[in-house]
């Protein structure tokens, strides 16, 4: 048994620590040292999810969970993985069983290419040599798609990856020509590090899809009803990450399904579990950081409401503009001597519609023999204002419904007023019905009221929710609901 364990440094990967440990063990060879440390079955040492945690924890007397949380890539999957699945994989890594980890985390199903090299930052290596006396591999530099250092903003240097060979970054400070990394490469590195270091609780797929869709709608890549314009968004996403598309991990994402699957898959399929890299490509193009994205998930509903209101205002403006254009064209054609029927045929619509426009515009039109007197018109107007139906008014006056509707068409403000009157009338009926139902129950609960007055409850929930919740009794706490049945 080896009598010592070297210090493991902040951010150092388990493979890096194991390499330094084996090289300093004083054994005849690294292979012999590895057999003592992790046994003969030590393949895939450079894996992001290595199976060597248990023996290393045992020999070093360090908590196995700390090694997994701070020196493996597993936390990178936490935010976008089901909590039960994540905890199960974490438990297996602590015990040294990672055979099914890749399948349970959907890494295999995601078909994201894992890096075929191991990478280091020359500036980080120089800093490590100065501070610790040794350069080592950083976990954050090995994450899929990461080709830049998030701290120094330079391109990482790649070393061929081996399944079992032990190597370290160069241990001598030497002049290396540094290449400045593209801004998107630095951004992806920063997002990946943020994901690796944070400890947020997992987000459900429904919440993820909703947040993405709302943000896309806010940016104009989805409708107000959250139907994503997939082709436009795909083009935008490719253009955004263009400097990195040759990197194997990103290329494997954008090539999915003959270049048709991503990013459409991110807003479809509630049961899907996608690789964190796919999420980071979405988050990076839509938000400033993962933290910014997490804050957005808390306010997505309010943002969606603003999008809907903005869309409604735009629709109203468009409808009003089209209405004014039609009215102007109608009046122009009628003044030029064209008949109502010809105008209706040219502009598209019913003759009665254009007749109302003519009346509002003060253009005299030929009427049929039936004609309303001024007193009758005043009576009709008064009854229209208070919300009486056109059928009731026609019966009271003794004229046709069409004549009443023609009068209604003379006043552009009346339809909206009558609509509000009908709304308030209906709201009053439903409120009264709900209150009467509530008073008829001895100890009413929200569920009982809903069952007894379902139509009124549903209408008020859709159109008068604030009043409804103030009127209803307090909700039964979730913990007590089962006992209350």
CB 76 within 8 A of CB 195: yes
pLDDT digits (tens, 9 = 90+) for 134-145: 999 999 999 999
Confidence of residue 336 (pLDDT cuts 50, 70, 90): confident
Top pLDDT among 229 and 320 is at 229
What pLDDT score was predicted for residue 9?
96
* Contacts of residue 327, Cβ cutoff 8 Å, sequence gap at least 6: 357, 360, 361
Q: Is residue 244 scored above 90 in pLDDT? A: yes
Top pLDDT among 481 and 353 is at 353
Q: Is the pTM of this model over 0.75?
A: no
Mean pLDDT, all residues of the chain: 87
Confidence of residue 340 (pLDDT cuts 50, 70, 90): confident
What pLDDT score was predicted for residue 363?
79
What pLDDT score was predicted for residue 141?
97
Domains and CATH numbers, the chain: 14-174 (no CATH), 203-286 (no CATH), 302-361 (1.10.10), 367-411 (1.10.10), 417-484 (no CATH)
Distance CA 107, CA 139 (A): 18
Q: Mean pLDDT, to the nearest integer, of 376-381? A: 83
Name the percent of the chain lying above pLDDT 70.
94
What pLDDT score was predicted for residue 175?
66
Q: Is residue 133 scored above 80 in pLDDT? A: yes
Top pLDDT among 42 and 400 is at 400
Q: Mean pLDDT, to the nearest integer, of 252-268? A: 87
Distance CA 355, CA 100 (A): 75
What pLDDT score was predicted for residue 80?
92
Cα distances (angstroms) measured from residue 205 to each of 44, 102, 277, 461: 31, 19, 15, 26
Residue found by looking up tokens 């075929």 in the block? 116
3-state helix/strand/coil string of the chain: CCCCCCCCCCCECHHHHHHHHHHCCCCCCHHHHHHHHHCCCCCCCCCCCCCCHHHHHHHHCCCHHHHHHHHCCHHHHCCCCCHHHHHHHHHHHHHCCCCCHHHHCCHHHHCCCCCCEEEECHHHHHHHHHHHCCCCCEHHHHCCCCCECCCCCEECEEEECCCCCCCCCCCCCCCCCCCECCHHHHHHHHHHHHHHHCCCCCCCHHHHHHHHHHHHHHHCCECCCCCECHHHHHHHHHHHCHHHCCCHHHHHHHCHHHHCCCCHHHHCCCCCCCCHHHHHHHHHHHCCCHHHHHHHHHHHHHHHHHHHHHHHHHHHHHHHHHHHHHHHHHHHHHHCCCCHHHHHHHHCCCHHHHHHHHHHCCCCCCCCCCCCCHHHHHHHHHHHHCCCCHHHHHHHHCCCHHHHHHHHCCCCCHHHHHHHHHHHHHHHHHHHHHHHHHHHCCCCCHHHHHHHCHHHHHHHHHHCHHHHHHHCCCCCCHHHHHHHC
Q: Is residue 485 scored above 60 in pLDDT? A: no
Confidence of residue 33 (pLDDT cuts 50, 70, 90): confident
- How distant is the alpha carbon of residue 91 from its chain centre? 30
Q: Is residue 484 scored above 70 in pLDDT? A: no
What pLDDT score was predicted for residue 318?
81
What pLDDT score was predicted for residue 313?
87
Closest-CA residue to 97 (of 66, 64, 71):
64
Q: Mean pLDDT, to the nearest integer, of 148-167? A: 89
What pLDDT score was predicted for residue 369?
41
Closest-CA residue to 141 (of 161, 158, 160, 162):
158
Confidence of residue 289 (pLDDT cuts 50, 70, 90): very high
What pLDDT score was predicted for residue 479?
65
* Contacts of residue 170, Cβ cutoff 8 Å, sequence gap at least 6: 125, 135
Top pLDDT among 32 and 434 is at 434
Q: Is residue 386 scored above 50 in pLDDT? A: yes
What pLDDT score was predicted for residue 366?
59
Q: Mean pLDDT, to the nearest integer, of 246-275? A: 86
What pLDDT score was predicted for residue 365?
66
Q: Mean pLDDT, to the nearest integer, of 169-177? A: 79
Top pLDDT among 85 and 269 is at 85
What pLDDT score was predicted for residue 287?
95
Q: Is residue 56 scored above 80 in pLDDT? A: yes
Q: How far apart are the first and last CA of the chain?
A: 62
pLDDT digits (tens, 9 = 90+) for 396-426: 887 777 778 777 777 778 888 888 888 999 9
CB 108 within 8 A of CB 102: yes
CB 79 within 8 A of CB 195: yes
Q: Is residue 160 scored above 80 in pLDDT? A: yes
Query: Of 202-206, 225-229, 275-279, which gets the smallest average pLDDT?
Result: 202-206
What pLDDT score was predicted for residue 367?
53
């Amino acid at each position: 048994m080896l009598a010592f364990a070297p210090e493991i440094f902040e951010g150092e990967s388990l493979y890096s620590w194991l390499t330094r440990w084996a090289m300093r063990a004083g054994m005849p060879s690294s292979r012999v040292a590895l057999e003592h440390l992790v046994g003969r079955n030590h393949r895939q040492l450079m894996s992001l999810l290595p199976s060597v945690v248990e023996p290393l924890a045992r020999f070093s007397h360090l908590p196995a969970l700390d090694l997994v949380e701070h020196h493996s890539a597993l936390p990178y999957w936490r935010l976008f993985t089901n909590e039960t699945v994540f905890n199960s994989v974490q438990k297996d890594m602590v015990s040294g069983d990672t055979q099914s980890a890749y399948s349970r985390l959907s890494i295999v199903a995601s078909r994201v290419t894992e890096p075929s090299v191991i990478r280091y930052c020359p500036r980080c290596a120089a800093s490590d040599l100065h501070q610790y006396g040794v350069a080592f591999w950083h976990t954050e530099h090995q994450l899929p798609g990461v080709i830049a250092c998030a701290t120094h903003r330079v391109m990482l240097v790649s070393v061929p990856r081996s399944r079992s060979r032990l190597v370290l970054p160069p241990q001598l400070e030497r002049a290396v020509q540094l290449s400045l990394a593209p801004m998107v490469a630095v951004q992806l590195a920063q997002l990946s590090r943020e994901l690796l270091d944070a400890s947020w609780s997992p987000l459900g797929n429904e919440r993820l899809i909703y947040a993405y869709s709302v943000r896309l709608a806010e940016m104009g890549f989805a409708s107000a009803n959250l139907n994503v314009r997939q082709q436009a968004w795909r083009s935008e996403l490719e253009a955004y990450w263009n400097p990195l598309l040759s990197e194997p991990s990103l290329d494997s994402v954008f090539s999915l399904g003959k270049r048709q699957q991503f990013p459409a898959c991110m807003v479809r399929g509630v049961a899907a579990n996608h690789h964190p890299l796919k999420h980071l490509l979405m988050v990076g193009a839509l938000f400033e950081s993962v933290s910014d994205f997490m804050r957005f998930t808390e306010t997505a509903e309010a943002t969606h409401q603003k999008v809907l209101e903005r869309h409604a205002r735009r629709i109203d403006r468009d409808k009003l503009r089209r209405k004014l254009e039609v009215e102007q064209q109608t009046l122009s054609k009628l003044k030029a001597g064209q008949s109502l029927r010809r105008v209706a045929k040219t502009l598209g619509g019913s003759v009665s519609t254009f007749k109302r426009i003519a009346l509002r515009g003060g253009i005299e039109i030929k009427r049929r023999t039936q004609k309303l007197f001024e007193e009758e018109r005043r009576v009709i107007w008064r009854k229209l204002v208070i919300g009486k139906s056109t059928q009731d008014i026609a019966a009271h006056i003794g004229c046709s419904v069409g004549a009443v509707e023609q009068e209604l068409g003379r006043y552009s403000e009346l339809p909206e007023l009558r609509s509000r009157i009908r709304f308030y009338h209906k709201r009053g009926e439903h409120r009264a019905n709900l209150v009467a139902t509530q008073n008829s129950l001895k100890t009413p609960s929200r569920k009982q009221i809903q069952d007894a007055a379902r139509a009124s409850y549903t209408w008020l929930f859709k159109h008068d929710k604030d009043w409804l919740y103030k009127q209803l009794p307090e909700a039964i706490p979730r913990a007590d609901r089962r006992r209350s049945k």
